[in-house]
């Protein structure tokens, strides 16, 4: 019977500083040596494949890799030494596998860094209406040019996306999300006044695709622009303070 051997934090840090494994049966180890590889920009590796590649390349023990599921999407949290150069290399490896850093938490001697897949399965059951929450000062500009993927969120380190709520989302869930946005907004956007815009799905271009938001039961996101003609009313204004 195999036996788990736990190593000290010092030993763990030393492993990372001294050795990486390069082999032809782990393409990540080859890609890490190249400067112009962008595999993760176009695909996401299967979860178990990503785990094996990263663990083998960096010698990360399994008990420092914490896999979990959010809203049906498999994610990973990795405990890493507080070494900026090494963490950047892990970020690069995860990016090559198609995963991005979403949030990090400082722990005793380590940082727990969460990664989510860049590309999930496309959501097919959208309904006719979606809701988008934004600070009230953005409303006029959105009605003029539409919604464009970007992020001002300081809690999560998300790539450029536009987030929505499904038609059956309880209003309490939307308001709670607006409160969370307000809590982590920059000063000019934390007065608590938010607009809930209504989007008509039937007016969208055919190439707009939606994906499950791992962090919200009723959430979806898109990487596409949403034209202004799809916004069908001024939106309900709520004060979440």
Q: Are residues 190 and 213 in the same domain?
A: yes
Domain membership flag for residue 2: no
Same domain, 113 and 136: no
How distant, in Å, are the alpha carbons of 5, 60 from that of 2?
Answer: 10, 18
The verdict on residue 3 lying in a domain is no
pLDDT at 59: 87
Name the domain count of the chain. Answer: 2
Q: For residue 4, is pLDDT > 50?
A: no
Asked if residue 55 and residue 136 are part of one domain, the reply reads no
Mean pLDDT of 214-219: 85
140 and 81 in a common domain = no
- Asked, for residue 1, whether it belongs to a domain, the answer is no
State how far the Cα of 72 lies from the Cα of 88, in Å rounded to an integer.
28
Count of alpha carbons within 13 Å of 205, Cβ hemisphere only? 9
- Rounded CA gap, 133 and 136, in Å? 9
pLDDT of residue 70: 84
Residue range(s) defining the domain that contains residue 185: 129-239
Same domain, 33 and 90: yes
- The residues, any chain, with a CB within 8 Å of residue 211's CB and separated by 6 or more, are 119, 120, 121, 122, 123, 220, 221, 222
Q: Tell me, what's the pLDDT at 5?
A: 45
Residues 155 and 113 in one domain: no
Tens of pLDDT, residue by residue over 18-74, are 456 666 567 676 677 665 555 545 578 889 999 999 998 888 999 999 999 988 889
Q: What is the mean pLDDT of residues 154-166?
A: 73
**Domain identity same for 83 and 24:** yes
Statement to judge: residues 143 and 220 lie in one domain:
yes
Q: In this structure, is residue 25 part of a structural domain?
A: yes
Q: Is residue 86 predicted with pLDDT exceeding 70? A: yes
Same-domain pairing of 54 and 92: yes
Spatial distance between the Cα atoms of 103 and 227, rounded to a whole number of angstroms: 30
Domain match, 29 and 73 both: yes
Q: What is the pTM of this model?
A: 0.64
Question: Which uninterrupted H or E stretch holds 90?
Answer: helix 84-96
Residue 4 lies in a domain: no
**Are 209 and 142 contained in the same domain?**
yes
| 59 plus 152 within the same structural domain | no
In a domain, residue 124? The reply is no
Length of the chain measured in residues: 241
Residue carrying the six token digits 């969460």: 114
Domain's final residue, options 62, 83, 117: 117
pLDDT in tens, 98-138: 898 988 999 888 999 999 988 777 787 888 999 999 988 88
Calculate the alpha carbon distances from 103 to 5, 98, 129, 196, 216 in Å: 29, 16, 30, 26, 15
CATH number at residue 192: 3.20.170.30
Number of neighbours of residue 211 by Cβ within 10 angstroms: 19
The 10s digit of each residue's pLDDT in 192-215 is 899 999 999 999 998 898 988 887
pLDDT at 118: 82
Eight-class DSSP state of 204:
S
- The pLDDT, as a whole number, for residue 235 is 74
Residue 122 lies inside a defined structural domain of this protein:
no
Question: What pLDDT score was predicted for residue 223?
Answer: 85
């Amino acid at each position: 019977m195999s036996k788990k051997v736990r190593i000290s934090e010092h030993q763990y840090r030393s492993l990372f500083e001294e050795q990486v494994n390069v082999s032809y049966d782990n393409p990540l180890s080859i890609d890490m040596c190249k400067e112009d590889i962008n595999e993760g920009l176009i695909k996401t590796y299967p979860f178990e494949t990503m785990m094996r590649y990263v663990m083998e390349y960096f010698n990360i023990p399994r008990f420092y890799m914490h896999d979990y599921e959010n809203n049906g999407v498999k994610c990973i949290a990795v405990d890493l030494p507080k070494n900026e150069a090494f963490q950047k290399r892990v970020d690069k490896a995860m990016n090559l596998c198609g995963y991005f850093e979403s949030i990090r938490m400082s722990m005793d001697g380590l940082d727990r860094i969460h990664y989510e897949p860049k590309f999930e399965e496309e959501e097919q059951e959208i309904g006719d209406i979606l809701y988008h929450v934004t600070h009230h000062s953005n409303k006029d500009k959105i009605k003029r040019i539409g919604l464009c993927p970007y992020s001002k969120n300081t809690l999560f380190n998300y790539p450029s996306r536009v987030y929505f709520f499904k038609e059956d989302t309880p209003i309490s869930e939307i308001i709670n999300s607006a409160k969370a946005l307000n809590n982590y907004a920059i000063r000019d956007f934390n007065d608590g006044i938010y607009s809930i815009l209504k989007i008509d799905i039937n007016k969208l271009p055919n190439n707009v695709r939606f994906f499950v938001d791992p962090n919200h039961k009723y959430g979806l996101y898109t990487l596409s622009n949403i034209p202004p003609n799809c916004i069908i009313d001024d939106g309900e204004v709520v004060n979440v303070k």
